[in-house]
Chains A and B, each alone.
Chain A
């Protein structure tokens, strides 16, 4: 049997894209390696999910539950199933699957949506020196151990990196009786949402050391202390003023990286900043019929935005299958100035441009107020004023399809007001 759309990864992005790719008569399959849908939402038992999407403050599992309930029965869901290989042969994708129940087998599909999420940066990727001790975790692993397996990982905690998962875990471990000694952040600003800084650190009097890093981990086989150093403006650790904090646990919350290893054999160009592949406004990659969305495309701060992005990817895959959209592309770049670190999508395909679309971006530095302009061939087509633009918070700007007067590239420019 040939599927119309196969969605790989059953988290928030996978569920929304599977749902939106469906239409009567289409065969959709959603493939998830775990024994339940919902992905990382299942271990995020704190609230704050769904404020935009459902106008309600839900916990991760509640959000996962709601989106699952909206899935259509006609969509075939395969749990405890991994995709171990993805290839394209002629016009069809060939997926090699493996599961305990069915062993290794292959299926074919006209379109594929990658919604495989992300993985956490590890201690080696930040070159954290010291011994390989027990007691050093990525924040997300510790979150899984606590919230899904029901076990504490330690009693005296230091957190490196002020990303959202680290902040959430600072509060979580405190509530479970651990002493969170400090959060250490390399940059001069936090990488987490402001609301998390307030409700996870300030409310619990947990000190946040900005412009600091950990320069050694101390212990024999288990972690006993960390050495903290101030860094200079080039982020290099300074010798003076080093200090030690005793702890049995170090959580690393130092960023997420899109998990797109299934695409390795396609040898696609990557965006240096997002560390994922390039897409157009339909979230289609340069391979016809291959779409990417959610954290495997760009790291999101809010699941609500993931759902929205995935809905578009799902609809785009459906349109691709229904309209047999394999005509030559007419793609132009979405350019941006030095104030931004990246944009998604990176391209516009004018040959299939039928709707308004959103461009997501992040600023490189913290600004109190900025004016964002979108230009096409020296003509200003859009303007948006943003207060408190932070690198840690993804911004979006909608480009109205009618505002594009030609098939030329567009450029996003920032005017700093404060």
Chain B
């Protein structure tokens, strides 16, 4: 019997798991996918927003500004990438320029520090590739970018070090409310008993809520598509570039990533299905059109990957983070869309505070608060490279040429704390196959490494989820 079962391994579930792992009690986190962070966390802009956009007084505003404050220290403690870019909100019309004044006031009221209004000349001096038709900008120095799934993984690994049990391939099908505990049933897995439930499963948290509550909050998925431009464009812009926000959201942005890529997107389109994460000709054209308004020099030819992500919108446009009105020790987090990534560390603390109001939590005596990441071999110092290669000669074998990932880097992840056993999981952990050739050379090599480390046939290695093997066993197939 667990004390708490967290549902969802995205950035929000991970942040809560980490905070909760500092306290006494048995906690378990379940994820329906074959790997962690396969939902909203893997497909967003990766921005740690300053907090200029959310409505004054909203939970979003409060947790966004607080979360932003927490990230720098967190990245140091947990050793995940954080790029201190700063951001500019750029105005191109007189109307947008006057909106900047409003944004300035809003940012102030939300508690954003160090904001400044910049003239056209000041803006172009900082970002000479922006269109010269711009009229001015709002500077937000506290904006940063991260790799969301790396931040999430770091938090989870830290929580595991403090005793968290992580279970993948656990899709909740039913929750039976018992006296003083819950029986959570899964697709193809034995049930788990728990005294408390924290529902943090992103797009699907309304469905979990439906299994437990009478009152329902519906999630309306909103899709955003992206371009990923290769590191060849590194330095094209050094800051996150926002247009002036409209009713449809923050608009199409340019976001320099910690790995050197440049994300361009997202558009915003309401869709009916939570699995509708396809890219579309219409959507991509719209992004191009909107982005060229920021800079007509944008080199879309450098595109190495398009993707789309869905955001969990709810009515009222604020986070819903509350205890159940009916069930003891049940907490729901619904509608955690942007700025959810930014807010996540603050959400973790917020949920702990909610729990503390309901029951006493006792801090563990020996808590691990830090976690280190093994630097990819080819990025390490010469001395370390020598040492590491002597210990594991497979470091010397370059597997992914585009992103410089060695064979041992991949072995480490296949056999790691949270084992990555699909091509996509390896991509997320190491960046292998994420470069220019998108795995043209290395995918088959990675497949062989995974198979050999997990004692599987090549045809048993999945591309992504369960039952997505890349290879069919027999060479002759039936007609």
Contacts and interface: CB of A to CB of B under 8 A. Distances in A.
A123 B304 CA distance: 9
B423 to A, nearest CB: 9
Nearest to B380: A104
A144 B441 CA distance: 10
A151 B468 contact: no
Query: Ordered nearest first, which 9 A-B pairs have the shortest CB separation?
Result: A151-B471, A82-B398, A134-B463, A134-B468, A103-B389, A119-B437, A122-B438, A131-B278, A152-B472
Contacts of B448: 149
A129 to B, nearest CB: 5
A129 B306 contact: yes
B74 to A, nearest CB: 29
Contacts of A99: 396-397
Contacts of B440: 119-120, 122, 138, 140-141
A162 to B, nearest CB: 19
Contacts of A217: 278
A195 interface: no
B465 interface: yes
Given A145-B470, A154-B472, A178 B477 contact: yes
28 contacts: A84-B398, A98-B378, A98-B406, A100-B397, A101-B396, A103-B386, A103-B390, A103-B393, A104-B396, A120-B437, A122-B304, A122-B437, A124-B438, A125-B304, A127-B303, A131-B278, A144-B444, A145-B471, A148-B444, A150-B475, A152-B472, A153-B471, A177-B478, A178-B477, A215-B281, A221-B467, A222-B467, A261-B436
A129 B397 contact: no
A98 B393 contact: no
B342 to A, nearest CB: 25
Contacts of A150: 475
A179 interface: yes
B477 A84 contact: no
Contacts, number: 142
B236 interface: no
B398 A221 contact: no
Contacts of A221: 464-465, 467-468
Nearest to A223: B468
Interface in B168-218: none
Contact of A145 (B382, B402, B438, B444): B444
Given A103-B389, A119-B441, A261-B402, A129 B278 contact: yes
Given A125-B304, A127-B303, 18 more contacts: A82-B401, A98-B396, A99-B397, A103-B393, A103-B396, A104-B385, A122-B437, A122-B440, A124-B306, A127-B281, A129-B284, A141-B443, A151-B475, A155-B477, A176-B476, A179-B479, A217-B278, A221-B468
Interface of A: 33, 80, 82, 84, 98-104, 119-120, 122-125, 127, 129-132, 134, 138, 140-141, 144-146, 148-155, 176-179, 215-217, 220-222, 237, 259, 261, 264
Contact of B396 (A102, A145, A220): A102
B437 A152 contact: no
B306 A127 contact: yes
B396 A100 contact: yes
Contact of B397 (A80, A148, A155, A222): A80
Contacts of B239: none
Contact of A119 (B436, B444, B462): B436
B307 interface: yes
B248 to A, nearest CB: 21
A152 B477 contact: yes
Interface of B: 228, 232, 275, 277-281, 283-284, 303-307, 378, 382, 385-386, 389-390, 393-398, 401-402, 404, 406-407, 436-441, 443-444, 448, 458-459, 462-465, 467-479
A84 B280 contact: no
B397 A151 contact: no
Contacts of A100: 393-394, 396-397, 407
A129 B458 contact: no
Given A104-B385, A122-B440, A138-B440, A132 B471 contact: no
Nearest to A126: B303
B161 to A, nearest CB: 31
A82 B389 CA distance: 15
Nearest to B282: A129
B179 to A, nearest CB: 39
A82 B404 CA distance: 11
- Max chain A C-beta neighbours (<10 A), residue from B232, B407, B463, B467: B463
Contacts of A153: 470-472
Contacts of A129: 278-281, 283-284, 306
B444 A149 contact: yes
Nearest to A264: B232
A141 to B, nearest CB: 6
A84 B404 contact: yes
A94 to B, nearest CB: 14
Nearest to B305: A124
Given A151-B458, A151-B459, A216 B306 contact: no
A202 B290 CA distance: 45
Nearest to B404: A84
Contacts of A131: 277-279
A211 B305 CA distance: 25
A57 to B, nearest CB: 25
